[in-house]
Structure 1
Amino acid sequence: MKKRVLILNGNSRVIQRAKSLDLEVVILQRENSPLNKKELSKADYYLEVDYHNTDLLFSTVSSFLNKYPVDSIISFSEDALLPTVLLQEKFNMPTNSLQTVLLLKNKNMMRDYLNKRNFSRVEFQIGTSKQDIINFIEINKCSIILKSLHGTGSEGILKINSIRELIKFDPWIRKFKIKEFLIEEFLDGVEVSVEAFSFKGKHSIIGITDKIVGENFIEFGHSVPTMLKNDTVSKVKRFTEKFLNHINLQFGPSHTEIKLTKNGPKIIESHNRPGGDGIVHLHKLVFGVDVVYWTLSAIKEGREMIEYEKHTCGGAAVRFLDLPAASKVKVVSSMEHLNQDSIYRYEINVKTGDMIKVVEKSRDRLGYVIAKGKSPQDAIEICEHAIDQLGIQLE
């Protein structure tokens, strides 16, 4: 008998992977989902409900499960991780605890939790006023980062180096309509992310991703495998495993962002889902690991590990378009002339006549190119050459 899996906020690519494993698929989407039903038509069942309305969610899923029991409830989407764990606990299908998911969703809760365990200690506090920031800077004598407590996609992050720079604060508060915010000491150093998969509390590190982060903390590039030295790679892997143990992550993919500071690795944030921005594709190209397929296979087979061939190619990279704001697009040429053997996929979201806006969050980026090469540096150069060859002319 086929196993049946309920996936919150899944897309056509997730459905395709599940069907390739001969799983029956139930897709649950919000009513205002940007994905249309045609894209999700290969699912066996489709439910539409506001999954942030907990009572309505429980009622809808309970009625469905009375007729069509499922073997697992999961999500690979940031927006649906909390509703998913609430459903898992409600219907006794736990993978990770509610506490673990809340820690990963709530930045100040995570900081407090780790500091009390003297792991990846970072000075922080909750702020509601300019005076809170002044007090924090005077006590800790450091540059700071201001964040929304529940923000995602690098949205609404502000760096302040001194009290004199507090002129930035009032416009920031008004723009993002923030009443409470997280004040953290600024962590200086190289930033990487770590992709991992957990099964019954045992963690497999898939790989480390090198990152390019802009001045406003939005990521404009990734490459795999990491170009860190071997001893640093080992240190980062051990650090990540300890972190995942601290938060008691039991099952599924994780994406953990880390700063390599002079005082050692420090957690920026983490998520119990795959990394975005094409990171899943980069690790699949280089290591042969499709972490979404891996997760679904573990649900079906109950197996901890899946055999995979490491280094299927020497390197892979993604670069995002970075165009000057307030300029107007005059010409965008086709990418069909590019070397399709090296270009894995691309997306261009600008057209003739568009005005370029300031990129304030990850979703604002204008397109990307993913390439594979003989090494990560080779893949980076292919991406950058492809973007140069776009022939985007600005007025």
Structure 2
Amino acid sequence: MTGTEGTVATEERAGTGGRADSDAAAAPRIAVIGGTPATLRKVRAAGFEIVWVYGPQELDPAGLAHVAEAHLVDYREPAAVAELLATVHRLRPLVRVVSIIEDGLEPAAAATTRLGLPGNGLELVQVLQDKLAFRTLLAERGVDAVAARIGHTAADIRAFVAEHGPAVIKPRYGSGSLGVRFVEDLAAADEAGAWAAGFGLHSFLMEQFLSGTEISVETFSFAGRHVVLAYTAKEKLASFVEVGHTQPAPLEADTARRVEGLVRSMLDAVGLTDGPAHTEVIITEQGPRLVESHSRRGGDRITDLVQQVYGIDTDALAFLWYAGRTGPVEPGEPARGASIRFLTAEPGVVDAVEGLAEVLADPDVVDASVSVGPGDTVVPIAWSYDRCGLVLARGRDGREAAERASALAARIAIRTSPAETGPPVRTLATIAARPDRLVGAAPGPGTEPVPAASTGEAAGAAG
């Protein structure tokens, strides 16, 4: 190993969860960018030998027990990953390069395109990650025309609102609801422009505001056949940060058909033919409209909801499909309802956390966790990673599950006291490890952001 980057090789042994050497030699090789030991176990179960690409500072050593090779590198650099895997492929060929996390999608796509392998190529992934390119492509192909353009100043916001009415401004790239702001009317444009400048959002996307109920659509594409696995209902704060997900979403049959048709048309338009996708849709008075889509399964533990409600493990399905070991899968009728409620708390220093053990003991609870403890600081919620924990609960249907999750979450008390120094000043630079990935490398009027993945591996966890 040289410096902080290099390659770690591990031997898989029969009797310790591995396969015999002779079997391993015959197994198809797949490169997995990012992911957890739990994900790697599913890849192994599908019959693959794994080449794991991960950041040296983030590596979970437990994952090494499941892989044939581990390459430690900044996997958020698509060109570097493509070059690395080109060498790996030349020595011992790969059959696919995949990632299930947001930050790994573009590097996996760059390697897929470079090596000519099946899967989501670079052009597809960049269109989905670039919110302006996504809007432009759909409008050109007559799928769903929503007004959108790049802005830099309050004057740009005023001009857009004067033309299109209420708007949303957001980073051109990114996830987790970071940097999203509602602009109700012309009177709010100057305040929104000042906020964007102070927050460090010097270049942003302005979109026509879609009023209605938001859902997400979890799909899996089987060689161009798009199957809806689940519809997920959402609950959001005024900041657009999601604080609740519920399946199945309460959709009338006609609405579900219209949503399904719209999502299928979008997936055809962008060229996604294989694997999971997570698409956000607003049900407006005029019908369903698209917000954005991702060539990955939903984050925020939405895959756990799919498994609880429909019995489908989306990640395991993906790797079995890539291995040619399963045909198309349909979800069938929901077995129950399931809901996630995210925990919030008053900003300040945590004094105590109470009630978690009791909530975990409830038979309706699938999982519950708190991510802060005494002495930690709770900040005002600016994006998904400012939430303080979650409760995932079951019910006979979605409504009952949502009620239970909400009631159980209310039993967990995160008690805080005001911080002595007051709340910290938060900007893109202080929140995101690499803010250039969200708003462009050289901010300022006249500067267009360059395509890149969103910041932080955890970005993929946001719904």
Partner in structure 2 of residue 305 of structure 1: 328
Q: Distance in 1 between matches of 2:114 and 2:284?
A: 41
Where structure 1 has 5 or more consecutive residues not aligned to the other structure, the ranges are none
2:280, 2:293 within 8 Å by CA — same for their partners in 1?
Answer: yes
> Is 1:193 paired with 2:216?
yes
2:179, 2:201 within 8 Å by CA — same for their partners in 1?
Answer: no
2:131, 2:173 within 8 Å by CA — same for their partners in 1?
Answer: yes
Identity of aligned residues (%): 27
Q: What's the Cα RMSD here? A: 1.9
Q: Distance in 2 between matches of 1:54 and 1:18?
A: 22
1:29 shift after superposition: 1.0
Residue type of the partner of 1:158?
A: R
Q: How many equivalent pairs are there?
A: 390
2:157, 2:193 within 8 Å by CA — same for their partners in 1?
Answer: no
Partner in structure 2 of residue 242 of structure 1: 265
Quick one: which of 255, 270, 285 aligns to 2:278? 255
Partner in structure 2 of residue 12 of structure 1: 37
1:281 shift after superposition: 0.2
> Is 1:218 paired with 2:241?
yes
Structure 1 residues 138, 59: closer, same or farther in 2, change over 3 A?
Answer: closer
Residue type of the partner of 1:19?
A: R
User: Which one scores higher on RCO, CA 8 angstroms, separation ≥ 6?
Assistant: 2
Q: Distance in 2 between matches of 1:127 and 1:4?
A: 45
Structure 1 residues 303, 314: closer, same or farther in 2, change over 3 A?
Answer: closer
1:117 shift after superposition: 2.2
Q: Distance in 1 between matches of 2:404 and 2:68?
A: 40
> Is 1:352 paired with 2:367?
no
Residue type of the partner of 1:369?
A: V
Q: Distance in 2 between matches of 1:308 and 1:301?
A: 19
Residue type of the partner of 1:9?
A: G
> Is 1:335 paired with 2:356?
yes
Residue type of the partner of 1:261?
A: T
Structure 1 residues 319, 54: closer, same or farther in 2, change over 3 A?
Answer: closer
Partner in structure 2 of residue 368 of structure 1: 390
Q: Distance in 2 between matches of 1:60 and 1:229?
A: 49
Structure 1 residues 86, 55: closer, same or farther in 2, change over 3 A?
Answer: closer
Partner deviation per Cα, 1:43-70 (whole Å, 9 max, x = no partner): 2221111234344323322332233322
Partner deviation per Cα, 1:205-239 (whole Å, 9 max, x = no partner): 10100000110000000000111222212221122
Residue type of the partner of 2:369?
A: E
Residue type of the partner of 1:207?
A: A
> Is 1:98 paired with 2:119?
no
1:247 shift after superposition: 1.3
**Alignment TM-score, normalising by the size of structure 1:** 0.93
Partner deviation per Cα, 1:135-193 (whole Å, 9 max, x = no partner): 112222x1111111112111000111122222232232221x22321111111000000
Quick one: which of 292, 316, 323 aligns to 2:338? 316
Partner in structure 1 of residue 207 of structure 2: 184
Partner deviation per Cα, 1:26-50 (whole Å, 9 max, x = no partner): 21012343x4233444222211112
Q: Distance in 1 between matches of 2:236 and 2:414?
A: 23
Q: Distance in 1 between matches of 2:402 and 2:233?
A: 11
1:11, 1:40 within 8 Å by CA — same for their partners in 2?
Answer: no
Residue type of the partner of 1:11?
A: T
Structure 1 residues 70, 340: closer, same or farther in 2, change over 3 A?
Answer: farther
> Is 1:50 paired with 2:79?
no
Matched position secondary structure for 1:332 = strand
Matched position secondary structure for 1:345 = strand
Partner in structure 1 of residue 152 of structure 2: 128
Structure 1 residues 59, 117: closer, same or farther in 2, change over 3 A?
Answer: closer
1:288 shift after superposition: 0.7
Partner deviation per Cα, 1:96-132 (whole Å, 9 max, x = no partner): 3432212101000111111122322111111122221
1:302 shift after superposition: 5.5
1:15, 1:40 within 8 Å by CA — same for their partners in 2?
Answer: no
Structure 1 residues 6, 386: closer, same or farther in 2, change over 3 A?
Answer: same
Partner in structure 1 of residue 306 of structure 2: 283
Matched position secondary structure for 1:38 = helix
Q: Distance in 2 between matches of 1:22 and 1:310?
A: 30
Q: Distance in 2 between matches of 1:2 and 1:318?
A: 38
Partner in structure 2 of residue 36 of structure 1: 60
> Is 1:118 paired with 2:139?
no
**Alignment TM-score, normalising by the size of structure 2:** 0.80
Matched position secondary structure for 1:208 = strand
1:14 shift after superposition: 0.8
